[in-house]
Structure 1
Amino acid sequence: MDAVPAAPVRPLPATVRGARTRAGLVAAARRVFERDGYLDAKLTDITKAAGCATGSFYTYFANKEEVFAAVLEQAQQDMMHPGMGRVNDSDDPYAVLEASNRAYLEAYRRNAQLMGLLEQVAQVDPEFRAFRARRADAFVRRNAAGIADLQERGIAAAAVDPMLASRALSGMVSRLAYATFVGQESDGDGGADFETLVATVTLLWANALQFQPPNN
């Protein structure tokens, strides 16, 4: 279940030119939001960065909330990696888990500024608070399905509730990613080496799910 934008967004343009203009506005909006923050971002700065007239903006978006929702949706698609996907018989489940965590953390690092802005805006805007909740739920459900698949294959402990385990473990990684890439202002990595970060969260996931050796 994918998260959806917090504000209603108009139908996508039917022409190639329209799609290109809208994409340019979304890309420009991201740059402006990341540079100025959500509250200080101005529509005139967005249209200037996109190289289009202010009037053209309203062909695609009604207001700043809509274009911010479109920017967040694009980031969401970037971050919705396969994650805890199906493990084939020939796969090492631990390696699949590590690759999943690496992909998520790399995507979070790419979108860290937006994740910080979403957290700030969600504190004061109920629509974006709902978006944040739907986003979290999408990750939890995806990972719960992956855990259930691992249980069917005898890799993860059968006694673990997939949904509860996913909520706990997904929340742990999400908050750690936020603290590492957003919450720390010193060097942008919260003092943790990226490889150590990947290895640590993978070990915690595997231990929590009581991974069995792949050849058992």
Structure 2
Amino acid sequence: MPPLADVTALKTPTTPRGARTRAALVAAARVVFERDGYLEARLTDITAEAHCSTGSFYTYFTNKEEILQAVIEGAQNDMLNPGMPRLSEEESSPEAIIRASNRAYFEAYRRNAKLMMILEQVAAIDPKFREVRRRRSQAFAHRNAKGIAALQEQGLVDTDLDAVLASLALSSMVSRMAYHTFCLGDEVPMDDLVETCTRLWVNALQMAPEGRDA
């Protein structure tokens, strides 16, 4: 999975002490961004939170934009690979896998909800972060499309669907539900959120629901 944020221009520490300092700055930036928002966050707040000097900040970052890229990079693995419970062979039906994937995604989104709000905020005003937002959506969609294509090959779902477009539509639905629930504050119980989105995936793909004949 390629990086969602363009971190090629960011400086890499050459010593263990430098790595610790940079990590402290990134962790502090996340705290400040989530507390104050990107627009209101100040570099002096970040360095104070990290207990570092301003000079240390400029050793690794040029501005707020660069350190936000580093923060997003740090959260990438949790969002794209949130981890799923191990399912036994009896439990690993396609619908059960979709359900477990949806739950893992929602839980990861909840853990990173404040950062997701920052990304939405900055994407609205900065083309570079708008591209980060687009790449994030595409990463999820293309990964899920592989799963849909595999089910099509097995004849378990509608073979006339374009796997990538279907995945983009369904993944976008799940993403917006997560945003409304964990960022905007809609009160939806986790179990209801998971079951509703899973049922919509099953219906949209014309998959036989569990416990029923096709």
Q: TM-score normalized by structure 2?
A: 0.89
Kept in 2: contact 1:83–1:143 (CA 8 A): no
Partner of 2:53: 53
Identity among equivalent pairs (%): 58
Q: Render the CA deviation track for 1:91-121: whole Å, top value 9, x for unaligned.
A: 2221111110001011111111111111111
Counterpart of 1:196, as a letter, is D
2:25/2:57 contact within 8 Å kept? yes
- Point out where structure 1 has 5 or more consecutive residues left out of the alignment: 185-189
How far does residue 9 in structure 1 lie from its aligned partner after superposition? 3.7
After TM superposition, give the deviation of residue 73 of structure 1 in Å.
Answer: 1.7
Match of 1:17 in 2: 17
Q: How many residue pairs end up in the alignment?
A: 209
Give the deviation of 1:12 after TM superposition: 2.7
1:187 is aligned to none
Counterpart residue identity of residue 65, structure 1: E
Residue in 2 aligned with 1:179? Answer: 180
Q: CA deviation at 1:132?
A: 0.7
- Seen in structure 2, the aligned counterparts of structure 1 residues 206 and 141 have a Cα distance that, compared at 3 Å, is same
User: Shift of residue 38 of structure 1?
Assistant: 0.4
Distance 1:9 1:51 in 2: 24
Are the counterparts in 2 of residues 144 and 166 from structure 1 also a CA contact under 8 Å?
Answer: yes
> Which residue pairs with 1:155 in the alignment?
156
> Residues 82, 117 of structure 1: CA spacing in aligned structure 2 closer, same or farther, 3 A cutoff?
closer
* Unmatched tracts of structure 2, length 5 or more: none
Query: Structure 1: how far apart are the matches of 2:83 and 2:53?
Result: 40
CA distance in 2, matches of 1:155, 1:177: 27
Conserved 8 A contact 1:26-1:67: yes
> Of 201, 205, 209, which aligns to 1:209?
205
Q: Distance in 1 between matches of 2:178 and 2:116?
A: 10
Which letter does structure 1 place at the counterpart of 2:131? A
Higher relative contact order (CA 8 A, sep 6+): 1
Measured in 2, the distance between the counterparts of 1:181 and 1:109 equals: 6
SS in 2 for 1:183: coil
Would the aligned equivalents of 2:33 and 2:41 in 1 still touch at CA under 8 Å? yes
CA distance in 2, matches of 1:212, 1:192: 26
Measure, in 1, the Cα distance between the counterparts of 2:147 and 2:83: 8
1:30: Cα distance to partner?
Answer: 0.3
Cα 1:39–1:7 change in 2 (3 A) is farther
Deviation at 1:156, TM superposition (A): 2.1
Quote the residue 2:5 is aligned against.
Answer: 5
Name the residue aligned to 2:70: 70
TM-score normalised by L of structure 1: 0.88
Q: In the alignment, does 2:39 pair up with 1:39?
A: yes
Letter in 1 for 2:73: E
